[in-house]
């Protein structure tokens, strides 16, 4: 087997793996936008690896090697690779900015595609008008081609990594640190694998290996997130709480805060379960906003039914409770006139010393205070 034949077969093997993954992602039961974006990311990797395999077959002579075929496969690669990088950037941006609206995402997509479309058009014209400029006597691309092949994808990948690292350093993003780390890890691997493959003329498709590996790793991470995420509110669930309690941490005083939606059964019975779900989502949005606006470490989950649980590393739990009430009032005021009932919540808190074996006692004490608050409401 020739070196180019081996190169193409490895690429196509990775394509088979990613096609199975593509089908699995399509079946994931979640409304989050980052999952279809991840599916598109996988699809564009598949398309690029197929294009790269065609490049190898042309170089190997399996497909006719002439000026037209060489320009065609090289043009295909130089157009598709920036789209791969664009898909990575978009997925990284959505994964690390869950507050983005659909309109903001659509606007970002348009802006990011402009340089790709411009480069594709200019190269198409130049490939047609001046093919000899791009190829030498051996029908090999010139150095400028390889520079253009790398520069735009690198801009997308490096920018995504830098933005992910910056966001990972922000306090409110610490609970999702693993997501930011995975996003940031793509580019260094691409630089090492792709650089070694190009500059040392390696015949093993290291770029393909690395991309497939990191995509599989991201897929497993997304699966783990689904297992640990409440499907309605998109908050952590009790599985994630269990993992959180087992993490190594300093034995530093924190407060367990229980939040319960008032008169939730009445909302369900009177207005239906769909309206009850709407109330739970509104409360979860208020809790997330409160966590984002507070400057210390917070853990938030839907504990069950209409109960939410927060763990705050602070000495002033009253400040957290006040912030939650302010955020809830703010979220409720946005929907004035669209509901015929009020949404309020009762809260209670208790000190926790950070040890897993004492957490249940702290939670029970917080729960008792929450029901005291509910009786006084």
Residue 174 lies in a domain: yes
CATH number of domain containing 7: 1.20.1070
Which ranges of 228-263 would DSSP assign to H, the alpha helix?
A: 238-246
Q: Which residues contact 227 (CB under 8 A, 6 or more apart)?
A: 239
* Domain at 355, CATH number: 3.30.70.270
The reply to whether 35 and 86 lie within a common domain is yes
Out of 227, 251, 281, pick the residue that ends a domain.
Answer: 227
- Does 97 share its domain with 207? yes
Tell me, yes or no, whether 245 lies in a domain. Answer: yes
- Confidence grade of residue 124 (pLDDT, cut at 50, 70, 90): very high
Task: Give yes or no for a contact between 308 and 256, defined as CB atoms under 8 angstroms apart.
Answer: no
Same-domain check for residues 194 and 78: yes
Q: Which of 194, 227, 260 is the last residue of a domain?
A: 227
Q: Which two tokens stand for residue 274?
A: 């769909």
Q: Are residues 213 and 245 in the same domain?
A: no
Residue 201 and residue 242 in one domain = no
What are the φ/ψ torsions at residue 102 (nearest 5 degrees)? -60, -35
- What is the helix (H) or strand (E) element at residue 309, kind and residue range? strand 307-312
pLDDT range class, residue 191, cuts 50, 70, 90 = confident
* End position of a domain, from candidates 174, 198, 227: 227
**Rounded to whole angstroms, what are the CA distances from 256 to 109, 238, 297, 321, 351?**
41, 14, 12, 11, 6
- Asked if residue 171 has pLDDT above 50, the reply is no
Contact 80, 44 (CB under 8 A): yes
Number of structural domains, the chain? 2
Structural domain including 93 reads: 3-227
Confirm whether 141 is domain-assigned: yes
Query: For residue 233, is it within any domain?
Result: no
pLDDT digit string, tens, across residues 209-268: 888 988 888 888 888 877 888 878 888 888 888 888 887 666 667 899 999 988 888 888
What digits encode the pLDDT tens for the residues 299-332? 899 998 899 999 988 888 888 888 888 888 887 7
CA distance 78 to 71: 10
Query: Same structural domain for residues 99 and 187?
Result: yes
CA pseudo-torsion sign 343, 348, 351, 354:
negative
Calculate mean pLDDT across residues 171-195: 67
User: By CB neighbour count within 10 A (0-12 exposed, 13-18 middle, 19+ buried), where does 20 fall?
Assistant: exposed
């Amino acid at each position: 087997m020739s070196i180019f034949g081996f190169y193409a077969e490895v690429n196509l093997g990775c394509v088979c793996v990613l096609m199975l993954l593509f089908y699995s992602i399509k079946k994931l039961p979640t409304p989050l936008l980052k999952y279809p974006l991840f599916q598109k990311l996988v699809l564009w990797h598949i398309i690029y690896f197929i294009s790269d395999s065609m490049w190898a077959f042309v170089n190997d002579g399996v497909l006719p090697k002439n000026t037209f075929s060489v320009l065609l496969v090289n043009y295909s690669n130089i157009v598709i690779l920036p789209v791969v990088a664009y898909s990575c950037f978009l997925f990284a941006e959505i994964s690390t900015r869950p507050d983005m609206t659909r309109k903001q995402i659509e606007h970002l997509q348009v802006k990011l595609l402009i340089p790709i479309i411009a480069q594709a058009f200019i190269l198409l014209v130049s490939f047609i008008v001046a093919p000899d400029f791009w190829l030498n006597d051996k029908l090999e691309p010139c150095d400028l081609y390889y520079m253009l092949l790398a520069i735009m994808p690198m801009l997308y990948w490096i920018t995504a990594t830098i933005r992910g690292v910056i966001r990972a350093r922000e306090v409110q993003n610490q609970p999702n640190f693993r997501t930011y780390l995975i996003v940031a890890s793509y580019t260094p691997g691409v630089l090492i694998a792709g650089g070694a493959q190009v500059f040392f003329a390696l015949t093993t498709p290291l770029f393909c290996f690395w991309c497939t590996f990191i995509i599989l790793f991201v897929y497993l991470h997304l699966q783990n997130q689904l297992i640990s995420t409440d499907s309605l509110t998109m908050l952590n669930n009790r599985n994630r709480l269990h993992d959180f309690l087992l993490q190594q941490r300093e034995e530093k005083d924190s407060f367990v805060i229980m939040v319960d939606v008032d008169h939730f059964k009445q909302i369900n019975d009177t207005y239906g379960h769909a309206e009850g779900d709407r109330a739970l989502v509104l409360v979860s949005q208020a809790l997330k906003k409160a966590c984002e606006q507070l400057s210390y470490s917070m853990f938030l989950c839907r504990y069950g039914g209409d109960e939410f649980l927060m763990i705050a590393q602070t000495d002033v739990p009253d400040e957290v409770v006040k912030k939650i009430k302010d955020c809830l009032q703010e979220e409720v005021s946005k929907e004035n006139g669209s509901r015929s009932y009020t949404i309020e919540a009762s809260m209670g808190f208790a000190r926790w010393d950070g040890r897993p074996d004492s957490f249940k006692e702290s939670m029970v004490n917080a729960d008792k205070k929450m029901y005291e608050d509910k009786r006084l409401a």
